[in-house]
Structure 1
Amino acid sequence: MTESEFLTLAEACLREVEEIFERAFDNDELDVECSRSGNVLTVEFVNNGSKIIVNSQAPMQEMWLAARSGGFHYRYDGSHWLNTRDGSELFATLSRIAREQGQ
């Protein structure tokens, strides 16, 4: 994959993550605040101050996720962002982590 292709996919991924959390906030499912600076998206849980950070790493062609439960790296397989260690999917992991941190 070229760098340009990766950057397009990474931008779409960050936008989708942000939209998911904004919808959850709008639907009163999660009390979160999203902020974005370049390729870094920070989601802060208002009730406890914990954060989830999602960012793109162009040199590695990966999306990185940092949360209380740890740090995770994801590579695009042609249709999904998959964890480089256990093969789990980025959005499934985000859903689980958001439930855990939102409590």
Structure 2
Amino acid sequence: MSQAEYDAAVDRTLIGIEDALDHCDWDIDYERSDAVLTLTLEDNGSQVILSRQSVNRELWVAAKSGGYHLSFENPGWKCTTTGEDLPTLLERVLSEQQGEQVSLGLSV
């Protein structure tokens, strides 16, 4: 994957997450600053942070349960330690932090 392809994949992913959050039933705020997307659960203020790691060509997710590194494997991002795809991982960590099942309907 070239740097341009990697950058395009990250941008599509972050926009897809923002779109899913705009249409989900959960009160999750988000803020994007360049290569970092911060998700904040309004009920308890906990955060999940996604960040672009250009040197490694990875997408990192930081949550209370730990840090996760995802590499792009067609057709999407896959966690290098758990094997979960990004939608599964993101819903899991958000659910753990929310204390109930969070569903985003994410398809990135």
TM-score, normalised with respect to structure 1: 0.89
Counterpart residue number, 1:73: 69
| Runs of 4+ residues over 2 Å off in structure 1 | none
Is the CA contact 1:30–1:102 (under 8 Å) kept in the aligned structure 2? no
Q: Which runs of 5+ in 2 are unaligned?
A: 100-108
Counterpart residue number, 1:10: 10
Greater RCO between the two (CA within 8 Å, min separation 6)? 2
> What is the alpha-carbon root mean square deviation over aligned residues?
1.1
Counterpart residue number, 1:88: 84
Aligned counterparts, 1:23-102, within 5 A:
23-24=23-24, 29-102=25-98
Specify the SS of the correspondent of 1:4.
helix
Distance 2:48 2:5 in 1: 25
Identity of aligned residues (%): 31
User: Residue 102 of structure 1: CA displacement?
Assistant: 2.1
**Counterpart code for 2:7:** L
Distance 2:19 2:98 in 1: 17
Q: Which runs of 5+ in 1 are unaligned?
A: none
